[in-house]
Each structure stands twice: as C-alpha cells, then as structure tokens.
Amino acid sequence: MNERFPDTLVPHKTLFGARLIATPDPSLSAALRRLLLLADGHRNIGTLAMMMPERDIQPDLGELVQRGLLETSPAGAPARRIEPDEHGHEDLPEGWETASGFMAARARESLGVKAVEVIEALEHARDPEEARHAMSQWYRAMRNSREGRLQADVDRIKAAALLRSQLPA
C-alpha cells in the first residue's frame, strides 16, 4: 500500500487488532506487532515514527490498516476505547476469543486465500449462532483443504475444548 499517512493522524486498534494482539499470531511480524502495540489511540503517527526510528512505519501502517487491525483519526478526536461489551461479545460462548484465535491461526497455516473468508466469519461472530456457523465454516474449509484435511478433526476437538476452557491457549 503506497498511501502516505499524515504525521498528525492518530492510529488506534480496531476490535480485531485488540483481539489479535492479545494472542500470539505468526502472521504478524515483530515490527508490525510492536507498532500495533504502540498504537494506543493517543500517539500520533509522528510520535510513533520517533519511537521506531529504525523503520519507515508508513508501509507498516498501510498493512495494518489494510488488514483491519488499525484505524486512524484526526489529532484531537476523542480516543476510542475498544471494549468487548461495546460490540456485543458478552453473548459469545465462553472461551470464544481463544478458540477463534486458534481457528484463525490454523486457517492461516492451511487454507491459503480461502483463509480470509473463514477468518472474517470467525471475527464477525456476535452471538452463539454466528459463532457456531463460523466454526462450522472453518471446519468444512479445513476438511476440504489439502493442507488441513489430516489435522481438521483433531483441531475441531481442540477448538471445542478451548470453548469449554479445558485447554490452555
């Protein structure tokens, strides 16, 4: 992404970005993870650039925005706090964030381009029915993939156990 962000914009994590930073994710490089951590809704892009002088953060910002992990606001706009309750996640099954994070990581490893659709369904689940549907979509995609087929049944059991909080993340 070649977009240039003005130094006065203030980046903040999206709900997806906040959820992703809370769990290890191999698709996020150390530099992207650091920038995502530093983007707290208070620091502007100029300040972030000074905090990471070894990098040109513009391409990293573009990637994080493109992936839906960051949004930007003009300086002086009220800082936006991302709280799960604000987005209706209180109705999701217990352990959903851990289980959906696990399923998203496995999808990234095994599904190639198809992972995008599956991960979006996992991230956009807002109630138990949507969570069940997203998990079914993930499982079907894993079973139908060359890379995930052999591991799909074991991974489904692990994801279900995570929903019941019986396994560590």
169 located within any domain: no
Q: What is the pTM of this model?
A: 0.47
1 located within any domain: no
Predicted confidence (pLDDT) per residue in 24-69, tens digit: 677 788 899 889 888 888 889 999 999 999 999 999 999 998 888 8
Predicted confidence (pLDDT) per residue in 65-90, tens digit: 888 888 887 765 555 544 444 444 44
Q: Indicate the DSSP class of residue 40.
A: B
124-157 in b/e form (b: 16+ CB < 10 A) is ebeeeeebeebbebbbebbeebeebeebbeebbe
Taking residue 90's Cβ as centre, other Cβ atoms within 10 Å add up to 9
On whether both 97 and 61 belong to a single domain, the answer is no
Domain finish residue from 47, 82, 117: 82
CA–CA distance, 4 with 120 (Å, rounded to integer): 26
Among 10, 8, 50, 57, smallest CA distance to 33 is for: 57
Token pair, residue 99, equals: 């289980």
3-state secondary structure of 10: strand
168 located within any domain: no
